[in-house]
Amino acid sequence: MERQKNTNSGVKIIEVCKVAPPPILSSESDSPKSLPLSFFDLRWLKYPPIQSLLFYELPTLDAKTTPSLLSSFHSDILPRLKHSLSLTLHHYLPLAGNLTWPESSDKPVINYVESDCDAVTLVVAESDADFYRLSGTNYEDVIKSAEYHPLVPDLIMSRERTGLLALQVTTFRDGGFSIGITTHHVVLDGSTVITFLKSWAHTCRSLGSGQSYYNYSLVVPDLPLELKPFYDRSVIKDPAGLENLYLKQWLDLDGRSNRSLVCFELKQVFPDSVRGVFHLTRADIQKLRQSVNQYYSGDDGDHVHASTFSVTYAYVVLCLVKAEGLTKNDDEILVVFGMDCRSRLDPPLPNTYFGNCLVGCRVVTKTKSLVVDDDNCRSGLAAATKIISDGIKNLETNGVLKGAEKWLAIVTPSNFHPASVARIYSISGSPRFGFYSGTDFGWGRPRKFDIVSLDWSGSISLSDSRDGNGGVEIGLALSKQHMETFASLFAQGLE
């Protein structure tokens, strides 16, 4: 296709192509060509797309060979990425399709129509930015949030139909490349996204290197059981009629019988927003856990499960509250996190269930209990951990679907940020997903993983650590001033 250039970002678009499942084999796929939405999916019908980035180093750092490396990338690595994507879509036909809501249908549906040339949009681009700065994890190397935006693609979206997945591969002149992933939350929660990426990486590795992949153009590698998507919606029970409730609420939003599929507008990203990545080692997490356990050791009435998730989230929230100056006695914050409930339903769903299966916990608390001055902020950390631990306990005790009739109202724009709270803290991702450990396409683990959509969501991203030592990587998007203060508090609390 004709080359285009974005002169403002230093990113040149080389190609915009469509990658489809192998047409000869699509009829043999176990993946459905039509997929209904469950009430878990309908909750996210108009939620803004989620955007992520994976950065990879090319095989050598020798600057003298960089031109030949880039040439090799376009002649070998890029074709393998495209070809393995096509083969992977054989197992994930819905991702090559579109979401529509026909007048003749009671609810939206995902359809893959081979005759309509349905496919995933893949953008190929080149950037003159500094790869090693953008893919670094030292918060002192300031990365403006806007620098990531040209590296992720947009979903093709209209009132009548919308794509579900778009990808962008961007090469950098100094020897690396990135894969930008944009997904529609209507059918892709974090667990489903990472299962797809792991499947793509597994397929790409199976092709080997060099030009030999052309010899396997019609051979679709089988996926291991832990990666095979499970599509059966009939196992999800809906005795409370949540599906019909959500459908009516969507149809009545912004007019009568409104079937528009256009997502909500993104929140404005402030010009001084910067990105930061912080690390908690296994030893750091154990230290935080011991601090919480010691605080509650003499209180028989309070049992706090100081899990890796709860102490990590608590520590980050504690540092953010102080960094952002939310220390007045009457300041309230909303602490939000999601829980994968695949294993908690009756009957339970397999881990590879394709679609959304998230429940959320929302807790309002005053910040005065978190900002008590003591040694290493022990009481504040303990209080924050208890808030999160109790939220998890309540979900498990009361049932994961309790209050589900109110879920949809929570994700509409008017309720994104209740006026009564000073700040919302929420989580994207999970250390359990294995964004680093599971996305080796044949050139090693990513140098960096980041969630670009933190810029508008204000969320905190959590992932496994690149070195695989059991630590946690934390991603943030804040103003430069708040990021510097947070970094200082984060380091001081671990001393």
The CA–CA distances, whole Å, from 450 to 245, 275, 339, 459 equal 35, 9, 20, 12
Rounded CA-CA distance 428/474 in Å is: 10
Among 251, 286, 301, residue at a domain's last position: 251
Within 10 angstroms of residue 322's Cβ, the number of other Cβ atoms is 20
Same domain, 211 and 77: yes
Peptide bond into 150 cis (omega under 30): no
Same domain, 168 and 283: no
From 400, 393, 380, 371, select the one nearest 311 (Cα to Cα): 380
Same domain, 91 and 205: yes
Sign of torsion over alpha carbons 16, 22, 28, 31: negative
Residues 200 and 4: beta-carbon distance below 8 Å: no
Give the pLDDT score at 3: 33
Helix axes 308-323, 480-492, angle to 10 degrees: 130
Residue 257 lies in a domain: no
Same domain, 67 and 155: yes
From 193, 240, 186, select the one nearest 400 (Cα to Cα): 240
Same domain, 133 and 225: yes
Rounded CA-CA distance 231/93 in Å is: 11
Same domain, 128 and 160: yes
Residue 264 lies in a domain: no
Q: Is 291 left (phi over 0), alpha (psi -120 to 50) or beta?
A: alpha
Give the pLDDT score at 353: 98
Residue 479 lies in a domain: yes
Residue with structure tokens 């994207």?
428
Same domain, 38 and 103: yes
Residue 89 lies in a domain: yes
Rounded CA-CA distance 473/464 in Å is: 6
Same domain, 89 and 177: yes
Same domain, 428 and 352: yes
Rounded CA-CA distance 211/228 in Å is: 27
Rounded CA-CA distance 455/435 in Å is: 19
Residue 382 lies in a domain: yes
Give the pLDDT score at 300: 58
| Amino acid sitting at position 463 | S
Residue 267 lies in a domain: no
Same domain, 213 and 281: no
**Two structure tokens written together for 375:** 């040694």
Same domain, 137 and 60: yes
Among 251, 282, 311, residue at a domain's last position: 251
Give the pLDDT score at 298: 67
Give the pLDDT score at 24: 65
Domain total for the chain?
Answer: 2
- pTM of the complete model: 0.93
Domain that holds residue 470: 273-492
Residue 265 lies in a domain: no
Among 251, 281, 296, residue at a domain's last position: 251
Give the pLDDT score at 266: 72
Residue 314 lies in a domain: yes
The domain that holds 312 is classified in CATH as: 3.30.559.10
- Which pairing describes strands 460-464 and 472-479: parallel, antiparallel, or unpaired? antiparallel
Residues designated as active site: 185, 440
pLDDT in tens, the chain (495 residues): 333 334 346 899 999 999 999 886 656 678 899 999 999 999 999 999 999 999 999 876 455 555 566 777 888 899 999 999 999 999 999 999 999 999 889 999 999 998 778 999 999 999 999 999 999 987 777 899 999 999 999 999 999 999 999 999 999 988 899 999 999 999 999 999 999 999 999 999 988 765 555 555 667 888 999 999 999 999 999 999 999 999 999 998 877 778 999 998 877 777 889 999 999 999 999 999 999 999 888 665 567 889 999 999 999 999 999 999 988 777 899 999 999 999 999 999 999 999 999 998 989 899 988 887 655 568 899 999 999 999 999 988 888 998 888 887 766 666 666 667 889 999 999 999 999 999 999 999 999 999 999 998 889 999 999 988 899 999 999 999 999 999 999 999 998
Same domain, 424 and 291: yes
166-191 in b/e form (b: 16+ CB < 10 A) is: bbbbbbbebbbbbbbbbbbbbbbbbb
Within 10 angstroms of residue 71's Cβ, the number of other Cβ atoms is 10
3-state secondary structure 231-286: CCHHHCCCCCCHHHHHHHHHHCCCCCCCCCCCCCCCCCCCCCEEEEEEEECHHHHH
Rounded CA-CA distance 251/236 in Å is: 23
Residue 40 burial (C-beta neighbours within 10 Å; 0-12, 13-18, 19+): buried
| Amino acid sitting at position 43 | R
